[in-house]
């Protein structure tokens, strides 16, 4: 298949669903409980809701929406740090659009902008570097966040700034890594998973080998999946086939994009610019060892954490917000007690409602809010 519409072919989808139903009926564990499959990537969650994939599957398959949206796992304390940096005189603070409305403990970046801070939305770190070139009397800070998917672009931009000797550009690094996240989910005592839909975008950079530990040490199958409806359905079928056969392997459904060994130039840039943090705080998951990266000492001049005095405080989420439970897959979005009432895309209480890839925002947009009232699953 070469074109997008071919990956959305209704007849092919019906064939895949019939095969999925057949496999699910043959798997012994479905006699007592559903098969729990977690999609790690927020892009998969978005596609699942958008195309109604969850409603197509038999009731013996339960999709668990995991912590794969980097905006959604950003703790409130790091948002507060962003606001502190942005409110410094002479700072132009740049960020991707979906991070502007994430609530901090007192305000979001959008609210800081309304109060006079120079906060600007950019589409890439290179846009931020261009602002630094045009505004030599201002310190331009780029809010770098995301998994390994976006790490290379930030790293290459920083290297370009160094090559041009641009002194008024820095990066507030909040990049996170996928492997410790999956391990933290697998170690969670209140969640049983039978397999994973592996993230497509991250795997485009890192390849498939980093997930071997899931199969080797946890005996759970992983299928790296694309984002179109047929991609996801085929990947679910591949997972079920592994479960039926008693196998636990890492398979790559997204072969048209994901190389088995990853992207060498991207990985080289990551290794050159970043090093692992000892630990990093995640919303809903707490502190996870070696789950984030920081800028190496060799590039300290471009590190906003060293240029600015930031509080770096740990701030608890509002008690009424259940983003943590949704992130870990313990609750569905509509089971959160504030979903669709005090927490909506217009007035988000938690990060999962802010980001377009957040499970709550995706379900609110594509699934409606009737399940909150009916309790249907």
Residue 377: its pLDDT value, please?
38
Q: pLDDT digits over 295-342, tens only?
A: 999 999 999 999 999 988 887 777 787 877 787 667 888 888 888 888
pTM for the full predicted model: 0.88
Of the candidates 304, 299, 376, the residue with the CA atom closest to the CA atom of residue 334? 376
Q: Is 335 exposed, middle or buried (0-12, 13-18, 19+ CB in 10 A)?
A: middle
Q: What is the pLDDT of residue 273?
A: 98
Radius of gyration of the chain (CA): 21
Domain positions in the chain: 76-178+262-307
CB atoms within 10 A of CB 209: 12
Looking at per-residue confidence, does 237 or 333 come out higher?
A: 237
SS (H, E, C) the chain: CCCHHHHHCHHHHHHHHHHHHHHHHHCHHHHCCCEEEEECCHHHHHHHHHCCHHHHCCCCEEEEECCCCCCCCCCHHHHHHHHHHHCCCCEEEEECHHHCCCCCCCCCHHHHHHCCCEEEECCCHHHHHHHHHHCCCCEEEEEEEECCCCHHHHHHHHHHHHHCCCCCEEEEEEEECHHHHHHHHHCCCCCCCCEEEECHHHHHHHCCHHHHHHHHHHCCCEEECCCCHHHHHHHHHHHHHHHHHCCCCEEECCCCCCCCCCCHHHHHHHHHHEEECCEEEECCCEEEECCEEEECHHHHHHEHHHHCCCCCCCCCCCCCCCHHHHHCCCCCHHHCCCECCCECCCCCCCHHHHCCCCHHHHHHHHCCCHHHHHCCC
> What are the pLDDT digits (tens) for 1-35?
677 788 888 999 999 999 999 999 999 998 899 99
pLDDT digits (tens, 9 = 90+) for 151-162: 999 999 999 999
User: What pLDDT sits at residue 368?
Assistant: 54
How confident is the model at residue 376, as a pLDDT? 41
Residue 289 in this model has a pLDDT that exceeds 50:
yes
- Lowest mean pLDDT, pick from 91-95, 194-198, 326-330: 326-330
When pLDDT is cut at 50, 70 and 90, the band that residue 371 belongs to is very low
Selected residue with higher pLDDT from 349 and 83 = 83
Question: What is the Cα–Cα distance from 119 to 245, expressed in whole angstroms?
Answer: 53
Tell me: pLDDT of 60 over 80.
Answer: yes
What is 76-178+262-307's CATH superfamily? HypD, alpha/beta domain 2 (3.40.50.11740)
Q: How far apart are CA 327 and CA 14, in angstroms?
A: 30
Does the pLDDT of residue 72 top 60, yes or no?
yes
């Amino acid at each position: 298949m070469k074109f997008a519409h071919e990956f959305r072919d209704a007849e092919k989808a019906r064939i895949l669903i019939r095969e999925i139903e057949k496999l699910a009926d043959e798997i012994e564990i479905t006699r007592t409980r559903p098969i729990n499959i977690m999609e790690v990537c927020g892009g998969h969650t978005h596609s699942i809701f958008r195309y109604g994939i969850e409603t197509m599957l038999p009731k013996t398959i339960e999709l668990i929406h995991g912590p794969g949206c980097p905006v959604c796992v950003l703790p409130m304390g790091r948002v507060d740090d962003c606001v502190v940096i942005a409110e410094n005189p002479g700072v132009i603070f740049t960020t991707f659009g979906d991070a502007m409305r994430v609530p901090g403990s007192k305000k979001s970046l959008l609210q800081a902008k309304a109060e006079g801070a120079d906060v600007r939305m950019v589409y890439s770190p290179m846009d931020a570097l261009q602002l630094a070139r045009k505004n030599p009397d201002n310190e331009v800070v780029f809010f770098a966040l995301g998994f390994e998917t976006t790490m290379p672009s930030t790293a290459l931009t920083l290297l370009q700034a160094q090559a041009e000797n641009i002194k008024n550009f820095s990066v507030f690094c909040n990049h996170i890594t996928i492997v410790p996240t999956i391990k933290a989910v697998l170690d969670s005592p209140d969640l049983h998973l039978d397999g994973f839909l592996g993230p497509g975008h991250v795997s485009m950079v890192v390849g498939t080998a980093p997930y071997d530990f899931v199969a080797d040490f946890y005996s759970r199958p992983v299928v790296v999946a694309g984002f179109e409806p047929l991609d996801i359905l085929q990947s679910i079928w591949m997972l079920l086939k592994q479960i039926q056969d008693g196998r636990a392997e890492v398979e790559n459904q997204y072969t048209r994009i994901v190389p088995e060994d990853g992207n060498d130039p991207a990985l080289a840039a990551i290794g050159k610019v970043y090093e692992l943090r000892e630990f990093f705080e995640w919303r809903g998951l707490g502190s996870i060892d070696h789950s984030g990266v920081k800028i190496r000492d060799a590039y300290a001049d471009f590190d906003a954490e060293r240029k600015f005095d930031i509080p770096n405080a740990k701030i608890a989420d509002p008690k009424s917000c259940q983003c943590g439970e949704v992130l870990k897959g313990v609750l569905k979005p509509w089971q959160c007690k504030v979903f669709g009432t005090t927490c909506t895309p217009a007035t988000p209480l938690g990060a999962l409602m802010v980001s377009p890839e957040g499970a709550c925002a995706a379900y609110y947009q594509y699934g409606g809010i009737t399940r909150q009232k009916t309790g249907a699953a």
